[in-house]
Amino acid sequence: MQTDFEFLTSQLSHALSTGEARESTLKELLRQYLPGKLGVDKGIIVSSDGQVSKQIDIVIYDKLNTPLLYCAENLRLFPVEGVYATISVKSKLDSSTLEESVENIRSVKKLSKKAFIEQKGVIIYTTNLYGKELPYFPIIGFTFAYSAIGPKTLKDKLEQLDDAGNPENNIDTICVLNNFVITNQSADGKIIVTKEPNSKRVFIKSESNSLLLFYLLMMHVLPQSWMVPIKMTEYAQNITFGEAKV
């Protein structure tokens, strides 16, 4: 993975601006190593009640079952029901850019996942994350940076920005390339990718393996992702198609 990452960085940096190259490098790496059912793109996420996220650097979504609302070379609109995770990509993560990252991720996490076709089958799925049993797979929020301020300082700032009463509204895990990962530790001492009600923030120094650790944490949850078919008529409530006649 590290070799592929370095190769992609060297190739893309010649053709794109620094920011674009860094986003594209991570996107291409994830496309290689995440399960094939997961799509990886850039875009904006919307809900059926008209709420809209900020532009998100990397959107991880159900590639097989998510109908895009709009698709162009530089803009994709995703219905929130099909989105499993987002990644905010930063060149350098400090107090200011961390606040931006929190704001971007919360702009997605506040969107309501509700436009589903009702489950009536023999098997009905639920997800247990963020201290809740949910009838859908929630959105995991990641931040990836190429450099950062010190891990203890960054962790302390993240704790200040955390919404303690609503763990699902927070950044879940941060990776700083070739440096460290900020993630979560459960009450029984296990490292977990999501910010759960009784977990605490921890940082793990891993100068040679931070990228691998980040990947493994993602792979602990994303392969378990699932979705109910989206009820697309909910996205067309304000469109008039004509009068029905017998």
- 119-138 b/e with 16+ CB inside 10 Å = b? eeeeeeeebebbeeeeebbb
Q: Would you state the pLDDT for residue 213?
A: 96
Q: Would you state the pLDDT for residue 8?
A: 72
Q: Would you state the pLDDT for residue 91?
A: 87
Express each pLDDT in 121-152 by its tens digit.
Answer: 778 889 999 999 999 999 999 999 999 999 99
AA identity, residue 106: R
Alpha helices in the chain, H assignment, sequence order: 2-15, 18-33, 95-109, 151-161, 210-221
Alpha helices in 47-186, H assignment, sequence order: 95-109, 151-161
Compute mean pLDDT per 10 residues along the chain, 246 residues long, and list them: 74 64 88 96 96 96 95 89 97 95 97 92 89 96 96 98 95 96 97 96 94 96 95 86 76
Token pair in block for residue 92? 């350098």
Contact 85, 218 (CB under 8 A): yes
Domain ranges of the chain: 2-227
Angle (nearest 5°) at CA 230 between 225 and 233:
165
Query: Which residue is listed with tokens 């378990």?
Result: 224
Element (H, E) at 189: none
In this prediction the pTM is 0.92
Q: Would you state the pLDDT for residue 12?
A: 62
Q: Would you state the pLDDT for residue 13?
A: 61
